[in-house]
Amino acid sequence: MVWTWKDVKLAALQKMFAAEGNTIPNDESVNDYIASMPQACNEALSILSRVGRYVFKTIKIAHNPIPNMINSMDQQLLTEDYTVEVDNAKSYFFEYSGTGTLHIINDELEIDTIDLDSDSYTEIRGFVPEGVDKIKFVFTPIYPLTISNLAFYAVLFKTVDDIPAYQDVEKYNLYDYASDFHGIEDVYLDGINLRYSQTSVYSIEGDHTLVLKHNKPGNYLVYYQSFPQMITEDTLDDYEFDLPDDMMLLIPMYIASELYKEDDLAISTSYRNEFEVELSRLSDEANKAPSAEKFTSESGWI
C-alpha cells in the first residue's frame, strides 16, 4: 500500500474517534488536531528512522575529472629552478606559497612572467597562448617557495575561472544530490576497463562528503540510507511516503497518542505503549537481518 499524508491524517483521526468512514471532517472539531499533526508526524518519523530499518536509495555520480597532462606533484619546496615542459596544453593550474617568479617560455622566448609572493597558498589559473604548441614553466625561488598541485589540461575552458583546481581526489557533497541522505551503505563502480562491481576505493569526509581518487574515473552508484522527508503545514494531501507498511502503520498510532492526551489519557497511553512494543519489534528485526526496504533512483547521471 502507498500511504499518503491524507491517509495518515485520516487514520490518526479515526483512532481519536474524530472521523468516520474515509472522509476527514471539515469542521472546527478536528482543526486543532490537524494543525498539530505535522509536528507529531515528524516526531514519529524521527523515532522510526533510528531503528535501523532504512529505505535504501541510490545516487549516480559520473566521476570523470579532466586528466592532468603531467605527473601529479602534491607539494614541492623549491631550492633551485624547477622546470616543466608540456606539449599541446591549453590551460594550467597550480597553487603556491612563498616568494619567487614563474617564467613562461615558448621556443626559448619568454612570453610571460608572473611574480609570486604570498604567505598563504594561492591559486593560479591561466590559458596557454593560442598557437603555442610547447610550453615551458620555469619556477625560480627567491625566498622559500612551495608549489603544489601543478596541472596542465589539454582542453580549453570558457573562462579562466572555469579551469578546475587539481587535487589527487575529488569531493562530492552528497547533500547536493539527495536532500534525504543519511549515510552510505555500498558503492559500486563501472569504470574504464573495469567490470561493474562493488568498490572500496573511496572514503567519507565528515558524514556526507564522498571522496574519490582522481585517477579512478567512472560511473559510481552510491546506495545510501535515506532520511524521511519532514511534514509541514504546506504538505499536500497526496504526498506519498516511501516507508514500508509496517512502519507507516505506527505513525497514526504515535500521532493519536500525542494528540489525545487531554481528551483521554488512558487511551493515549495505551496507543503509546503499543507503539513502543512495535518499535522494539522493528528494531529487533533490523538487528537480526538489516536489509533495504526498497530501491529508488534519487538522481540521474551528472
The mean pLDDT value for 133-146 works out to 95
* Among candidate residues 196, 204, 210, 175, the one with its CA nearest the CA of residue 63: 210
Q: Taking Cα atoms as reference points, which of 24, 52, 16 lies closest to residue 256?
A: 16
The x, y and z cell numbers of residue 252, run together, are 497514526
1-54 per-position pLDDT tens digit: 899 999 999 999 999 999 888 889 888 889 999 999 999 999 999 999 888 677
Q: How confident is the model at residue 284 (pLDDT cuts 50, 70, 90)?
A: confident
- Res. 291 pLDDT band, cuts 50 70 90: very low
The closest alpha carbon to 145, from 92, 93, 76, 72, belongs to 76
Q: Residue 297: what pLDDT?
A: 43
**What is the structure's pLDDT at 73?**
67
Which residues make Cβ contacts (< 8 Å) with residue 119, sequence separation at least 6?
A: 97
Distance CA 79, CA 280 (A): 66
**Domains and their CATH numbers in the chain:** 5-57+227-288 (no CATH), 58-66+169-226 (no CATH), 76-162 (2.60.120.260)
**294 pLDDT above the threshold of 60:** no
pTM attached to this predicted model: 0.69
Q: Is a pLDDT exceeding 60 seen at residue 296?
A: no
